[in-house]
A and B are shown apart, each in its own frame.
Chain A
Amino acid sequence: MEFLRATSVDEALAAAGDGAAFVAGGTNLVPDVLFGRKKIARAVDISRLDELRFIEEADGKIRIGALATVTDLLDSGLIRDAASPLYESALEFAGPLVRNRASVAGNLMDASPAADLAPPLLAQDAVVELASAEGERTLPLSEFFLDYRKTAARPEELMTAVVIDPLGTADRCAYYKLQLRRAMAIAVVGVAVILRMEESVCAEAAIGMGAVAAVPYRARAAEAHLRGKEIGEAEIEAAAAAAADGARPIDDVRASAAYRRKMCGVLVRRLLKKALGMPQIAAV
């Protein structure tokens, strides 16, 4: 395996393709290569490209640079205040050592069904910026995950930034990661909920789901039960049922598909109530 440390984005892009893989924190790629799950011809180290490490607000958008780490999310007042589900997912992400290295873009590019940052970013209508020697393009995150560990990024493309709209006072949100221990655990189910309220009506509803299908995804059918409605018990129950119904989980070492499906309903119900400040059966 060849190793190349890029000193500029252009240099990194020039070295892409032909079995090359970009390496930032390496928290996914290194174990994948070590244990033979991935074979790569060339590792293109982008970890020194400081110009990709930023979290900034510009033109009413939050741009998260590809090399921003999960710890950077936690250190950012902007993320805490204007992307709170993302902030909460970062709190539950692995452990401090991994959070210090793992990059936001890496978590998305790895395209694990259980990628912790994906549900909140999906719910916040994230758009990813992709660059290659041919040029740049943008893509909604909801169109980025194609299938199990398969993304819309072409082999030569580098994710350079993730862009979200900041949440405002009208947004109600909640996040939960169901896991088997309190750190360094793959999600059994991850759910992020964002509701944009206009007076008592839900103008926009977004529910991001993780670890319950081949890809992280938006629970569109569940959202439809909420959008444009005054949300009461009936709407919440309908959304929860739709979320459970829409899930395509698998059995694995962590939980059965049946349990995961049931939890989709439980968590969506609970998070909607939490977001709206409604009484819950038990605290999350």
Chain B
Amino acid sequence: MSERVVGRPHPIIDAAEKVSGATVFIDDLELPDALTGMALRSPHPHARILRVDTSAAERLPGVAVVLSKNNTPDAPFGINHKDEAAFCREKVRYVGDEVAAVAAVDEATAREALSLIRVEYEVLPTVADPFAALEPGAPLVHDSVAGNVANEFHIRRGAIDEAFDEADATFADEFHTHLAHQAYIEPTGCAAQWHPDGKISVWGCLQSVFLIRTFMLAPVMGMSADDFRVTQTKPGGAFGGKLDVKAALMAAMLSRAAEKPVKFMMSLEEDLIAMRPRMPVHISLESAWKRDGALAGKRVRIVAENGAYSSLSPAIMSSIALRTDNLYKTPAAEIQGRLVYTNVIPSGQMRGFGNVQATYAWESHLDNVADGLGLDPADLRLKNYTEKGDVSLHGWKIASCAVADATRYVVDKMDWKARRARGGKGRGVGLASCIHVSGNKGFSVELGPDDTDPSSGVVRVDEEGKVEIWSGESDLGQGATSVMAYIASEVMGIPVERFKVPPTDTGYMPFGMGAFASRITLIGGNAVKLAAEDARRNLLDAAAEAMEIPADELEIAEGEVRAKALPERKMAVGEVVGRAGGVIEGEGKWLAGGDVLDKEKFGNPSTTYSFSTHGAEVEVDMETGVVTVLQVCCGHDPGRVINRLGAEGQVEGGVVQGMSYAMMEGLAPLEGRLRGRNFHDYLIATSMDAPPIEHDFFESMDPYGPYGAKGLAEVAINPITAAICNAVYHATGGARIRTLPVTPERVLEAIEEAGR
């Protein structure tokens, strides 16, 4: 590892701009003569729409346009099922569903216009609970979907019946997770500008500027993807929630109808009730074991809460179903999943994409198993972990893996054996591990152009020696653009300070799928690395001509092209570019490895996989159930660290965000109505709650990764929930948290249950 840039700590490249307040977020964006767009949302979880009368709103002075089912085409859309409409047509299906939208000269007028829209509803019975929705005769959320089942699968792999018949011990558990929002600080919003040539520009904090055109804007608006120029604004957080952003559609439709620019900014409350929060899921687990702690097989049954519309939920359920089987050597598995429509906010993806929920359930179950087998939970895991070179029963090919090193680090740093021996009496330790993809071929088919999961980059050097990187992959605050700059700086021998990575823009940038599935460092990073190598070759060729020295006798360092043998023979990169006509470019394209899964969900969905182990020490007040996380200790295998400071931020942010989800968050639906409608009732952890975090990286040097790197964003959050729950179990002598979040009340109930 002789790199000068890669692996060292650097600030993110736009840190100064952000902390000085210069960053232009979507709400700061000013378009001349922009109208204010706002939506009228359903007050009912389930109702038939008898009539929408917008005439009074249309007559209000200052109102440019009112859109509803009355004047928009019936163009259903959706990534997996075309089950959603821009504006509700025959029914509303959750509180927050868009019924109409207005564009007016200002917010007050828009608000008044909304109040003038008359909607006649016939209120229908609400089906809010997924198990009630599965009952025969339950009200149907979508009249055409019998039984309210959006998706269903049943997979048997390996000799599953024998595994259970011949097991020395079997264990069973059930776990339930809750509806939790991404809780980014910046509420969602988009701006759109219709142009007289019929094309539309769109701005917003979006995870994929390219894909939102193809899965939402173009099909609903009856236009082609290249009619839209979508530009990302600097992110105020996304965490998975800004992939599927209907605000972009609202802004674009209003702008086209009004023939003027429109800004459609959601309030925090609208964001909480009408975006796509993390999917709640009910997981039943059974596992079969040999006496020595070898896993023989597992059965998993999942009921996943889809909410009113599907979006990416089928893929999330798939992730929940299969993911943890690949972390351990699993000889056989039987998996059943059902995704159920309800009259609740549509659920969706958040950092972890189902793996937070799956890992919580399976890793909690593992500690129950360890207890039952009389084994140490760390030893049980170390015995069963997958290893480099393994192919899992689902076909996953493990190209690099340091999860055992991460676990041994946690065990060592936490003084695990001694603390385990001292357990009970309100203090305890627990740990949990996870595996995660770095990109997922499935998305490429569902969302992208084809099955290649591609990324591309352009590196452009100007006559001042400054470098711009154009990539279609977006930075959501996770540090993607910094990673790209550091990779390219390493390759090109040009200092990082000369690099600029503008936000993604379909208007001139090369294609990228966007930020999800922890794919950018691996896939986008490889594309940018290839582009930087190409630019470096082109620079050296140009320098060879200018300096009259063969290219292979030249090198680039500190922004200068130097003769290797005669370092005093040198020329600044900018001068080389100037003599070559003013611009030198390089381009790179990288197609992800792995396969699209077959119908039985068999195959290798990602080029490679990342791992982590989180350990937590907690104190439990045995009388009140209040849990205090005293410390967290964790090890991560991101292949290779590109930017150490950024990687540390990912880990610390992931741990605290995961702890927050585990312990206090929740939209708390009651009969389909959410109770967490503001950050007063929807709690997220503050700095006061954050525990000390000790951690390190275990670099498995992935063979496919740029400089060996793979994804880190999601392994940083997945295991912490189970680690905390396992620590609570240890601290209390057996209180198992089967329903999230880990509130004092739930902990006290579990303590009482364990005592019986």
Q: CA separation between A253 and B426, bound complex, in Å?
A: 26
Task: Kindly state the separation between the CA atoms of A256 and B622 in the bound complex, as whole angstroms.
Answer: 18
* Contact B623 A282, beta carbon cutoff 8 Å: yes
B621 CB-CB contact with A under 8 Å: yes
Q: CA separation between A182 and B685, bound complex, in Å?
A: 8
B686 proximal to A (CB < 8 A): yes
Q: Does A188 contact B (CB under 8 A)?
A: yes
B218 part of interface (Cβ distance < 8 Å): no
Closest to B621 in A: A282
- Interface flag for B447 (CB, 8 Å): no
CB contact under 8 A between A182 and B676, given known A253-B668, A259-B745, A282-B623: no
Main secondary structure on B side of the interface with A: loop
* Bound CA–CA A83/B426 (angstroms): 32
Which residue in chain B gives the minimum CB-CB distance to A280?
Answer: B623
Contact assessment for A181 and B668 in the assembled complex, using a CB-CB cutoff below 8 Å:
no
Task: Determine if A188 and B744 form an interchain contact, defined as CB atoms under 8 angstroms apart.
Answer: yes
Across the interface, name the chain B residue whose C-beta is closest to A186: B680
Q: Determine which of B622, B668, B680, B683 lies in contact with A282 in the assembled complex, contact meaning CB atoms within 8 Å.
A: B622
Q: Is B564 an interface residue (CB 8 A)?
A: no
Contact A181 B744 (CB under 8 A): no
- Give every chain A residue within 8 A of B623 (Cβ-Cβ): 266, 270, 281-282
Instruction: Say whether, besides A253-B676, A266-B624, A182 and B688 are in contact (CB < 8 Å).
Output: yes
Quick one: which of A183, A262, A267 contacts B686, CB cutoff 8 A? A183
CB <8 Å contact, A181 and B689: yes
Q: In the complex, which residues 540-581 of chain B have their Cβ closer than 8 Å to any Cβ of chain A?
A: none
- Compute how far the CA of A256 lies from the CA of B683 in the bound complex, rounded to whole angstroms: 17
Of A31, A185, A186, which is in contact with the most chain B CB atoms at under 10 Å from its CB? A185
Question: Contacts A181-B664, A266-B623, A281-B623 given: A255-B743 contact, CB under 8 Å?
Answer: yes
Residue A184 lies at the interface, judged by CB distance under 8 Å to chain B: yes
Closest partner residue, chain B, to A267 (CB atom):
B624
- Cβ of A140 within 8 Å of any chain B Cβ, yes or no, is no
For window 240-284 of chain A, which residues contact chain B by CB distance below 8 Å? 252-253, 255-256, 259, 262-263, 266-267, 270, 281-282
Is B689 a contact partner of A282 (Cβ separation < 8 A)? no
Q: Within the assembled complex, what's the spacing in Å between the Cα atoms of A188 and B626? A: 11
Q: Does B291 contact A (CB under 8 A)?
A: no
Determine the distance from Cα of A201 to Cα of B624 in the docked complex, in whole angstroms.
29
- Name the A residues within 8 Å of B676 (CB-CB): 253
A282 to B625, CA, bound (A): 11
Is the CB of B748 closer than 8 A to any CB of chain A? yes
- Report the minimum CB–CB distance from A284 to chain B (whole Å): 8
Within 8 A of B (CB), among A16-66: 31, 35
Q: Is the CB of B686 within 8 A of A182?
A: yes
Q: Is B600 close to A, CB under 8 A?
A: no
> In the docked arrangement, what's the CA distance between A282 and B678, Å?
34
CB B626 to nearest CB in A, in angstroms, measures 7
Which residues of B from 85 to 124 have beta carbons under 8 Å from A? none
Check if A95 is an interface residue, CB within 8 A of chain B: yes
Name the distance in Å between B238's Cβ and chain A's nearest Cβ.
23
Contact A256 B681, CB 8 Å, known A182-B688, A263-B624: no
Assess whether A14 is interfacial by the CB under 8 Å rule: no
With both beta carbons as reference points, the residue of chain A lying nearest to B675 in the complex is identified as A253
The answer to whether residues A180 and B744 also contact, given A253-B668, A270-B623, A282-B623 and a CB cut-off of 8 A, is yes
Q: How far is the CB of B348 from chain A (nearest CB, A)?
A: 22
| B745 A255 Cβ-Cβ under 8 A | yes
Quote the shortest CB–CB distance from B739 to chain A (angstroms). Answer: 13
A181 near B624: Cβ-Cβ < 8 Å = no
Output the nearest chain A residue to B679 by Cβ-Cβ distance. A184
Residue contact B621 to A181, C-beta cutoff 8 Å = no
Q: Which of B730-749 contact A (CB under 8 A)?
A: 743-745, 748
Measured CA separation A31–B269 after assembly (Å): 13
B625: nearest residue on chain A (CB-CB)? A259
Whether, in the assembled complex, A146 has its beta carbon less than 8 Å from a beta carbon of chain B, the answer is no
Residue of A nearest to B748 (CB): A259
User: What residues of B have a CB within 8 angstroms of the CB of A185 in the complex?
Assistant: 683
Q: Is A78 an interface residue (CB 8 A)?
A: no
Interface residues as binary, B269-308 with A (CB distance below 8 Å gives 1, 0 otherwise): 0000000000000000000000000000000000000000
Measured between alpha carbons, how far is A253 from B179 in the docked complex, in Å?
13
- For B664, the chain A residues whose CB sits under 8 A away are 180-181
Cα of A267 to Cα of B748 in the assembled complex, Å: 14
Chain B residue nearest to A178 in the complex (CB): B624
A181-B685 CB under 8 A given contacts A266-B624, A282-B622 = yes
- Contact residues in B for A178 (Cβ distance below 8 Å): 624, 626, 744
- How far apart sit A185 and B685, CA to CA, in the bound complex (Å)? 10
Return the chain B residue nearest A284 by Cβ: B621
Q: Complex Cα distance A31/B426, Å?
A: 39
> A253–B686 contact, CB under 8 A?
no
B681–A180 CB distance below 8 A:
no
**Contacts of B382-440 to chain A: CB distance below 8 A:** 426
How many angstroms between the C-alpha atoms of A252 and B743 in the bound complex?
13
Q: How far is the CB of B85 from chain A (nearest CB, A)?
A: 29
B604-632 vs A, Cβ < 8 Å mask (1 yes, 0 no): 00000000000000000111101000000
Closest to B682 in A: A253
A266-B623, A270-B623, A282-B622 known; A256+B745 contact, CB < 8 A: yes
The smallest C-beta distance from B607 to any residue of chain A, in angstroms, reads: 39
CA distance A252 to B748 in the complex (A): 17
| Chain A proximity of B686: nearest CB distance (Å) | 5
The reply to whether B686 and A181 contact each other, CB–CB distance below 8 Å, is: yes
Chain A's nearest CB lies how many Å from the CB of B428?
14
Chain B residues with CB under 8 A of A255: 743-745
Distance between A78 CB and nearest chain B CB, rounded to angstroms: 27
Q: Closest CB-CB distance, A137 to chain B, in whole Å? A: 34
How far, in whole Å, are A252 and B626 apart by their CA atoms in the complex? 18
Interchain CB contact under 8 A, A183 and B622: no
In the complex, residue of chain B having the shortest beta-carbon distance to the beta carbon of A259: B745
| Contacting residues, chain A, for B748 (C-beta < 8 A) | 259, 262
Residues of A with C-beta under 8 A to B621? 282
A33 to B140, CA, bound (A): 39
A183-228 CB contacts (< 8 Å) to partner B: 183-186, 188
Q: How far is the CB of A10 from chain B (nearest CB, A)?
A: 36
- Residues of chain B contacted by A180 (CB below 8 angstroms): 664, 683, 743-744
Most central of A178, A180, A186 by chain B CB within 10 Å: A180
Q: Is the CB of A181 within 8 A of B745?
A: no
A183, B626: Cβ atoms closer than 8 Å: no
* Chain B hits for A266, CB < 8 A: 623-624
| A residues less than 8 Å from B626 (CB atoms) | 178
Q: In the complex, what residues of B have CB within 8 A of residue A182's CB?
A: 686, 688-689
A-side contacts of B743, CB under 8 Å: 180, 255
Binding site for B on A (CB under 8 A): 31, 35, 95, 178, 180-186, 188, 252-253, 255-256, 259, 262-263, 266-267, 270, 281-282
Q: A178-B626, A178-B744, A181-B685 are in contact. List 20 more A-B contacts (CB 8 A).
A: A35-B678, A95-B686, A95-B688, A180-B683, A180-B743, A181-B683, A181-B688, A182-B686, A182-B689, A183-B689, A184-B686, A185-B683, A186-B680, A188-B744, A253-B668, A255-B744, A259-B744, A259-B748, A282-B621, A282-B623
Task: Show 24 A/B contacts (Cβ-Cβ < 8 Å), sorted by A.
Answer: A31-B680, A95-B688, A178-B744, A180-B743, A181-B664, A181-B685, A181-B686, A182-B689, A183-B686, A183-B688, A183-B689, A185-B683, A186-B680, A252-B675, A253-B668, A253-B676, A255-B745, A259-B744, A259-B748, A263-B624, A270-B623, A281-B622, A282-B621, A282-B623
Per CB-CB distance, the 10 closest pairs between chain A and chain B, nearest first, are A182-B688, A183-B688, A253-B675, A259-B745, A266-B623, A182-B689, A183-B686, A253-B668, A180-B664, A253-B681
